Structure 1
């Protein structure tokens, strides 16, 4: 049964526990490339490093390429109402929260595809 993750660390540990971590990394790479925001996480990337690098990428998009950031959220299909609930006063914190929403949506895709195959 699908259980929504509580935070990034919980999500990444679930992905590892269910042997879907590599599929999650693959899905992230695929969707970022679809949005023309090339990111190429190696399959060997550790969860903690994935978390840090993803947050850094989102931070840079928010700061310097806002239209591309919005396009990425659209491509990944992050729910708009969840984005609107975030507090944007601290961009570093915002990047972390958006990274979690992105990971959560990518995890849903991977989990459901695996569960219903």
Structure 2
């Protein structure tokens, strides 16, 4: 599996393989498991998805850091990848972490589709 390098590539792959709704479902499922009040509608536009996810991660980092760490644990985002990010700019950090979250969720959806 070749992981996407950008948000646009990820959305393009998900759409081509008709897995965009499953990606949204997986995001909703993991946010619910983390007790974070975020529920995307299955028809959410990719631009809205990116914006809302970024906003949510930013707020978690700023106001609810323990919940943020719990979310990363539940989604299984690589600790090594998160530590490699620049933590000086919280806005940029939250954008990068949002993409890591989407990439990990995409992996889960892709593998489920491929091997089930």
TM-score when scaled to structure 1? 0.97
Structure 1, unmatched stretches of 5+, are: none
What residue in structure 1 maps to residue 4 of structure 2?
5
Structure 2, unmatched stretches of 5+, are: none
What residue in structure 1 maps to residue 71 of structure 2?
72
Contact 1:29 1:38 in 2 (8 A): no
What residue in structure 1 maps to residue 30 of structure 2?
31
Number of residues of Structure 1 aligned to a counterpart in Structure 2: 116
The runs of at least 4 consecutive aligned structure 1 residues that moved more than 3 Å come to: none
Q: CA deviation at 1:38?
A: 2.1
1:84 counterpart = 2:83: yes
CA distance in 2, matches of 1:60, 1:38: 12
RMSD, matched Cα = 0.6
What residue in structure 2 maps to residue 116 of structure 1?
115
